[in-house]
Structure 1
Amino acid sequence: MRIAHASPEPALRAFVERYWWCEGEAGDLPLLLPGTGAELWIHYTGGVEPCPADGLPPRPLPAAHLVCLRQTRWSLTSRAAVGFVAVRFRAGALRHFLGPGVDDVADQVVSAADLWGPAGRRMTDEVRLAADPGARTDVLDRFLTGLLDGHHRADAWMDAAVRLVYRSPGDLRMDALAERLGVGARRLQRAFPPAVGAGPKGFQRLARFQKLTRALLLEDQRRYLPAALGAGFYDQNHFIREFRHFTDQRPTALLGRGLSHFYYQPLRDPGQAGHRLGEREVR
């Protein structure tokens, strides 16, 4: 499986963490673990199917689709060679590109056409017809800039709230957060679901799980207890309960086995493009 990355244009970098694209043969993709993130995938070759836990046959996903704020793990597979480009939004930034609230699309797969109508369909066609990665990212730059012009929210305090919870999910109290932002606790509680797809405590719980799991997978660690305590879990049993809540498995079933999920190190050079990752990082 080949993975490459690029940054969006400067005006989008406060909202979009990266573009990345994936090309590979048929087969299972890395497990998509629960998390707070949002990504828009556009397939230019083949397609991806989720493997339902209920035993039903896989159902192909739309050629361009959004996934965000997942509270369950997803297994994905492709029946033929696959190629797609993905937009990875920063924590809490998706709301600046949508008309509806994020809580209307959380834990779902929603097609770009359903979300953005003719503009979403046109973007999908242009990405699929583009000749190379650079042309695809040009299409995405134009599309996302247009969405941002139409949907950007002016309540900067909400962006600050999401950043604070996301960066310190282990020990941040919601009443202290509201006081720090200068807003009422009830207003903060009401504002979180449409902004991120979950209430502040739910978002905090998911961010804590995601942040620790990401660190453990990137560092390929088998000893997770010191990191779990540092992330705000009370003890080993607390972390194991949370891990089983979100994945239905014990940590040892997934951690320390070279599993990459789709976690990546930060882009060091905001302008870099076409940076290749090794096979070990994407298997």
Structure 2
Amino acid sequence: MSRSSYQATELTGRPAVAYTRPAPALAALVERYWWSEGGAGALPRLLPGTGAELWVHWSGGVDLRPVDGGPPTPLPAGHLVCLRRTPWSLEHRAGAGRPGFVAVRFRAGALRHLVPAGLDELADRVVDTEELWGAPGRRLVERVRSARGPVARVAVLDRFLTGLLEAHRRPEPWLDAAVGRIYRGPAGLRIDRLAETVGVGPRRLQRMFPAAVGAGPKEFQRLARFQRLARLLLREEPPHSLPAALDAGYYDQSHFTREFRRLTGERPAELLGPGRSHFYYPSLPPDGRPGARTTREETS
């Protein structure tokens, strides 16, 4: 798979951000590879959500600090972030050098086909790639760090993930369908009717869902709803948040505010709004136009 070369440059003091699509065999599982280098400004708050990402730092480093205070915890150079029920504060590690990382953004429910463990064991954690995948996870970090440029780093990730898929691909296509329907479906989607639609009983769906995504179907539905609205408010900046909250499935503005405070401990105005830095990008469909594409984006 050919990809155009890319040389990141700092833009107005912010890190340059770019992305490309995965190899065709991984398109149903990987939404994008994206990378950032340069800039040492504050990192965005990582809000609760259903998203799963694999990060590998080729330079610099990141610390995780509890939002309620306390000392920072250094994150491994290669680590996996899964479903989160609480927000995390991320900081550039002091003295670690110029920041540079490449990340893999997985599609909803895809990670279960790439890991040896159930996602209920990985939720609310930052997992070292070596802890999860053993020696191959350690070698992944070494190869990304020694690769020259984004095209070479993405090629390393393509090979690594293709090998994982061959080793860990799981059956139950109905479960993938159920995850997708909940993630993209309306907030009022009933789980019992969903089970009937995908051809299984409600108890089986309830039993198998946590290992597939990290939470039960109703909780996953609530986190996906929260994530969709947070993405909208941060990216598109609608003039009025109430219609957006209603469209997302909240009863009213106070319902969304209560849910936001329950998940983050803060009011929406403290974390959302124009000019806020974030990691949200428009979704790339798996059936996008043929050919790889590399695009520059400036961090928000």
- TM tier, smaller: over 0.9
Give the equivalent residue in structure 2 for 1:158: 175
Q: 1:270 to 1:108 in 2, by over 3 A?
A: farther
Q: 1:14 to 1:112 in 2, by over 3 A?
A: same
Q: Counterpart of 2:296 in 1: which secondary structure? A: coil
1:24 deviates by 2.5
Q: Take 1:273 and 1:50, find their aligned partners in 2: how far apart are those partners?
A: 32
Q: Take 1:171 and 1:256, find their aligned partners in 2: how far apart are those partners?
A: 26
**Runs of 5+ consecutive residues of structure 2 not aligned to the other structure:** 1-14
Give the equivalent residue in structure 2 for 1:59: 73
1:32/1:75 contact within 8 Å kept: yes
Q: Take 1:189 and 1:218, find their aligned partners in 2: how far apart are those partners?
A: 33
1:269 deviates by 4.8
Give the equivalent residue in structure 2 for 1:264: 281
1:97/1:147 contact within 8 Å kept: yes
Q: Take 1:163 and 1:99, find their aligned partners in 2: how far apart are those partners?
A: 21
Give the equivalent residue in structure 1 for 2:83: 69
Q: Take 2:129 and 2:216, find their aligned partners in 1: how far apart are those partners?
A: 25
| 1:240-268 residue CA offsets vs partner (Å, 9 max, x unmatched) | 11111111111122222222421112346
Q: 1:71 to 1:161 in 2, by over 3 A?
A: same
1:8 deviates by 0.6
1:4/1:277 contact within 8 Å kept: yes
2:22/2:292 contact within 8 Å kept: no
1:169/1:205 contact within 8 Å kept: no
Output aligned runs, 1:83-122, within 5 Å. 83-122=100-139
Q: Take 1:7 and 1:182, find their aligned partners in 2: how far apart are those partners?
A: 32
**Runs of 5+ consecutive residues of structure 1 not aligned to the other structure:** none
1:195 to 212, 217, 220: 212
Q: Counterpart of 2:51 in 1: which secondary structure? A: strand
Deviation larger for 193-202 or 257-266: 257-266
> Would you say how many aligned residue pairs link Structure 1 and Structure 2?
280
1:25 deviates by 2.8
Output aligned runs, 1:122-271, within 5 Å. 122-267=139-284, 269=289, 271=291
1:271 deviates by 3.8
| 1:106-129 residue CA offsets vs partner (Å, 9 max, x unmatched) | 110000000000111111100000
Q: 1:189 to 1:89 in 2, by over 3 A?
A: same
2:47/2:264 contact within 8 Å kept: yes
